[in-house]
Amino acid sequence: MTSQKSYSLPSFMNSDSSLPWLLPLITMLIVFAIIPFFYNIYLSFHEFVPAKRALLFVGWDNWIRLFTDGVFWGSLKVSLYYTFMCLVIQLVLGMGIALLIDSDDPGFGIIRSLLTLTLVIPPAIAGMIFLIMEDANYGLIPWLLKSIGLIGPEDTILADPTLALWGVMIVDIWQWTPFMVLILVAGLRSLPSEPFESAVIDGARPFQVFRRLTLPMLHKVIAVAVLIRGIDLWRMVDYVFVLTSGGPGTATYTLSLYSWQRFTFVQWGYGATISLFSLIVILIVGNAFIHFAKVKW
């Protein structure tokens, strides 16, 4: 829109109406977000029928299949477990590290800079890094765990139905705990110092100060961090794609991965139905969270 002749557009945009300013955004969101949403609903009532080589109307079949499909329920469980566990671990770990490095002493600035680095690694490549580190034969992590006796000599991580999901989660925790740390440090640094000084003078113990002062004063920052991290955890697909492709068996299928996998198996309608379910869940939960945690933009 800026490559226009500089005398024609300004007059168009000089009124105090916001429509011309918002029009490109609204157009973009309608064409590339609203239309696909309705297209997805359309797809969820259709399915590709190989015998007829066509996408045919199947009514509620996809939705009925969804609620009777064991793999779907399994992947829903995996998505919920993954989102919740990663969120809790990243928040607790992030808060601990943030409290530690919230300091003006020399050196902590560099530590904070080092922690930003994991955030810009493409998640697919972060998955690759851990794929070699968790390799069953020559991976660093199984080797370490075997040397200290946490897993048996024949055990693997990514091929083990109970450990595989943790093998994926460790990547997420590694890459995104710094996200929590940086946000919480910024929150801690913006707190006023007076209440803390008077609490210390009154003889409050550190844990009391943290519970009664720090946490309540940080609640807005924590809510924002949890919201954004929660959304991204729910949508995550890169790590499982790279590390396990959902295996062993269906042990690490998340909703997004299962939906993608059905799609590549030419079950277009069913894949769309799973993705739509995942979308509806996050829209409801996300907006409810914004409402109840009183997050404001």
Partner 1 sequence: MHLFILRRLNGKDLNKVFKQVLGWLIAAIFFFPIYFWITVSIKKDKDIFALPPKLFNFEVSFSAYEEVFGISRFLYVEDMGAVRPGGGDFYMMPNLVDSIIIALGSTGLAMLISILAAYSLSRIPIRGQQHFMGWILSTRMMPPVAVAIPMFFIYKNIGLMDTHLGIIIIHALMNLPLAVLLMKSFFDDIPKDIDEAALLDGATRFFVFWRLIVPLAIGGIAATAVLCFIFSWTEFIFVLMLTQTGLKTIPVVSTSFVTSTGTAWDNMAALGTAAIIPAFIFILLVQRHLVRGLTLGSVKQ
Residues 212-241 that bind partner 1 (CB under 8 A): 221, 224-225, 228, 231, 234-235, 237-238, 241
The reply to whether 64 sits near partner 1 by the rule CB under 8 A is no
Of the candidates 49, 150, 189, 205, which one interacts with partner 1 according to CB under 8 A? 189
The reply to whether 62 sits near partner 1 by the rule CB under 8 A is no
The reply to whether 288 sits near partner 1 by the rule CB under 8 A is no
The reply to whether 54 sits near partner 1 by the rule CB under 8 A is no
The reply to whether 206 sits near partner 1 by the rule CB under 8 A is no
277 is written with which tokens?
């379910």
Of the candidates 97, 168, 240, 251, which one interacts with partner 1 according to CB under 8 A? 97
**Could you write out the DSSP letters of every residue in 171-188?**
HHHHHHHHHHHHHHHHHH
The reply to whether 86 sits near partner 1 by the rule CB under 8 A is no
The nearer residue to partner 1, 162 or 203, going by C-beta atoms, is 203
The reply to whether 56 sits near partner 1 by the rule CB under 8 A is no
Which residues, other chains included, contact 285 with Cβ-Cβ below 8 Å and sequence gap of 6+? 230
Angle at 71 between CA 69 and CA 77, to 5 degrees: 110
| Region from 158-166, 197-205, 208-216, 288-296 binding partner 1, contact rule CB under 8 A | 288-296
| Near partner 1 in 13-52, by CB under 8 A | 13-18, 21-22, 24-25, 28-29, 32-33, 35-37, 39-40, 43
Of the candidates 83, 90, 156, 259, which one interacts with partner 1 according to CB under 8 A? 259
| In the complex, least distance from residue 274 CB atom to partner 1, rounded to whole angstroms | 8
**Could you write out the DSSP letters of every residue in the chain?**
-TTS-TTHHHHHT-SS-SHHHHHHHHHHHIIIIIHHHHHHHHHHTEEEETTTTEEEE-TTHHHHHHHH-HHHHHHHHHHHHHHHHHHHHHHHHHHHHHHHH---STTHHHHHHHHHGGGGS-HHHHHHHHHHHT-TTT-HHHHHHHHTTSS-TT--STTSTTTHHHHHHHHHHHHHHHHHHHHHHHHHHTS-SHHHHHHHHTT--HHHHIIIIIHHHTHHHHHHHHHHHHHHHHH--HHHHHHTTT-STTTT--HHHHHHHHHHTT-HHHHHHHHHHHHHHHHHHHHHHHHHTT---
The nearer residue to partner 1, 165 or 184, going by C-beta atoms, is 184
| In the complex, least distance from residue 87 CB atom to partner 1, rounded to whole angstroms | 15
| Near partner 1 in 107-166, by CB under 8 A | 107-108, 110-111, 113-126, 128-133, 137-138, 140, 143
Binding residues for partner 1, how many (CB under 8 A)? 100
The nearer residue to partner 1, 71 or 129, going by C-beta atoms, is 129
Angle at 133 between CA 132 and CA 139, to 5 degrees: 90
The nearer residue to partner 1, 162 or 223, going by C-beta atoms, is 223
Give the amino acid at 107: G
| In the complex, least distance from residue 191 CB atom to partner 1, rounded to whole angstroms | 12
The reply to whether 267 sits near partner 1 by the rule CB under 8 A is no
| In the complex, least distance from residue 202 CB atom to partner 1, rounded to whole angstroms | 20
